[in-house]
Amino acid sequence: MNNPVVEKFSEFYHKWVLKLEEILHLLLEVSKKRSNENGEQEMLVLVSKVTSHIKEYYTVKWGAAHEDVLVFFSPVWLSPLENAYLWVTGWKPSTVFKLMESLNKTTTFNMTEEQVKKIEVLRMRIRMEEEKVESEMERQQVALADRKMVELARMCSRERNGGGGGGGGGVVAEKVDMAMKEVLAGLEKIMKSSDCVRLKTLKGVLDLLTPMQCVYFLAANIAMQLRLRQWEKKRDMAGSELDSSLVLERRVV
């Protein structure tokens, strides 16, 4: 059975990624120009465009998750490789700091000592935020095995086996429904918390960088995200070509 939330968000995500590819092209073009008279203003406008595009993703995501949060914990619009790197429905914030370290080894990025110190302070703060999200996720998982949930599962099992007595099925179903609503509400809260950490990380980093560094950073971050998706597509295409070759070979034989 088709899920309308999945269909609608998948369509949105496809268009959003296409726009992200266009933005990456613009970032790369601006990064080649380096500094000029109007360069800084041009860069600031572009950075603002990127952040607006990212915020749009989370606005739409949160709206869709309110209807069905579970689809975001196993998103079908992502490739298996992209799913393998997920941290609570998205990218892990601390990976940004590994990217920053790599960028800072290049001559074009060139952070000052003051910037490096401030980035390190931000990294520690974000790590603490990540731990809070992970602790809450663990607490949510443990809650599924508490006495109340186990008892509800037993009651459901008895009802299915016809041993619940007369007229109790509706009460049991209602209790299970209420319990599951609490679980889903908890997952939605955790998802939003993890997204907020992601947004805080991006804002924190961008606030500490020069306009030119922001362009380099965003280009590298977006390129890394898109490469995961593109690599999976190339692998699928290679697999399809191999399958076609095998079919032709069998026909020749």
What are the angstrom distances between the C-alpha of 93 and each of 44, 102, 108, 225?
23, 16, 24, 13
Say if CB 88 and CB 191 are below 8 A apart: yes
Query: Exposure of 123 by Cβ count < 10 A (0-12 exposed, 13-18 middle, 19+ buried)?
Result: buried
Q: How many CA atoms lie less than 13 Å away from 246 in the CB half-sphere? A: 6
Q: What confidence score (pLDDT) does residue 160 get?
A: 59
Q: What is the model's pTM?
A: 0.82
Asked whether residue 71 carries a pLDDT value surpassing 80, the answer given is yes
Per-residue pLDDT tens over the stretch 26-49: 999 888 776 554 578 889 999 999
d(CA 128, CA 57): 25
Q: Average of pLDDT values for 224-231?
A: 85
